[in-house]
Amino acid sequence: MSSGYWNHKICLITGASTGLGLAIAQALAERGARVALNARREQPLQEAVELIRRGGGEATAWVGDVTRQEDVDRLAQEIDARLGPLDLLCNCAGRSARSPILETAPDDFQQLLDVNLLAAVRTTRAFAETLIAQRGHLVNIGSLASKVAPRFMGAYPASKFALAAYCQQLRLELGPRGLHVLLACPGPIAREENAPRYTEQTADVPAEARRPGAGAKLRGIEPDWLAKKILTACEQRRSELVVPAKARLLFALAQLSPRWGDWLLGRSTSA
């Protein structure tokens, strides 16, 4: 447990009913924060809230779809009225994909951009002034695919690269006004079920590419451990968190030489 930094802070986590979003909500609640959990489906969201409450934390459920502007507007109004000024917004809602790039249609790009980028734009705009006034934290959950674009991930890397660009613009424009912006770029998150996924999207994707990380030769990251790393990065007001840290070498090489970056990325994935 860290110090009392998070005690009584009001924190909103989108995509919080399962996975990393839920782990971040639990870690905040354990540290005394008042957490608001947002997701689209009511039943798993209520189950997540009850899990936190049974552990002694303070949590509320806010059903809504952050790809819908009217839902985001309602969320901002109700949280301000019922909980007060927000201290942390964590945009954890998102979706991955698998498909060969030439089979990825413009509509596929639009859908991924909407959930992985534009949802964060909507929530950020809704809460930015409050977060600035609180000298609060904006956490956007990116991916290693915010920095490099592996094979067979369809529109996912493009949507996460765009999120990284948005974070940099926010840091430069709003950082001087007091807003802390953190881009978290984790590798594949460990799941209870590690069987191949995305089988409904295309039969042309290799089996390895359907696994978490699209075949990346990386161990799955435990969400509870990652959640604690993210909170520590917020306390230190860091700009970026890359896990595993060794991936930074690949990112640097890709910037210096796209040819060598492509070669190394090809070797580090098994698809």
Is there a contact between 227 and 139 (Cβ–Cβ < 8 Å)? Answer: no
206 DSSP 8-state letter: -
Residue 180, classified by CB atoms within 10 Å of its CB into exposed (0-12), middle (13-18) or buried (19+), is buried
- Report the first-to-last Cα separation within the chain, whole angstroms: 39
Cβ partners under 8 Å of residue 188, min gap 6: 211, 212, 213, 216, 218, 220, 221
- For 4-268, CATH gives 3.40.50.720
**HSE (CB half, 13 Å, CA atoms) of 17?**
16
Looking at the DSSP bridge assignments, the partners of residue 242 are 185
Taking the C-alpha atoms of residue 66 and residue 121, their distance in angstroms, rounded to an integer, is 10
Predicted structure pTM score: 0.91
3-state DSSP assignment of residue 10: strand
156 catalytic residue (yes or no): yes
Structural domain boundaries in the chain: 4-268
Cβ partners under 8 Å of residue 52, min gap 6: 25, 26, 29, 35, 37, 58, 59
Taking the C-alpha atoms of residue 142 and residue 251, their distance in angstroms, rounded to an integer, is 14
Taking the C-alpha atoms of residue 85 and residue 133, their distance in angstroms, rounded to an integer, is 9
The reported pLDDT for the residue numbered 133 is 98
The reported pLDDT for the residue numbered 202 is 56
The reported pLDDT for the residue numbered 93 is 96
The reported pLDDT for the residue numbered 205 is 76
pLDDT tens for the chain, residues 1 to 271: 446 999 999 999 999 999 999 999 999 999 999 999 999 999 999 999 999 999 999 999 999 999 999 999 999 999 999 999 999 999 999 999 999 999 999 999 999 999 999 999 999 999 999 999 999 999 999 999 999 999 999 999 999 999 999 999 999 999 999 999 999 999 999 876 544 555 455 557 777 767 666 666 677 899 999 999 999 999 999 999 999 998 888 888 888 888 887 887 887 775 5
The reported pLDDT for the residue numbered 215 is 61
Token pair, residue 124, equals: 């950020």
Closest CA to 205 of 109, 99, 128, 108: 99
Candidates 5, 156, 166, 198; catalytic one: 156
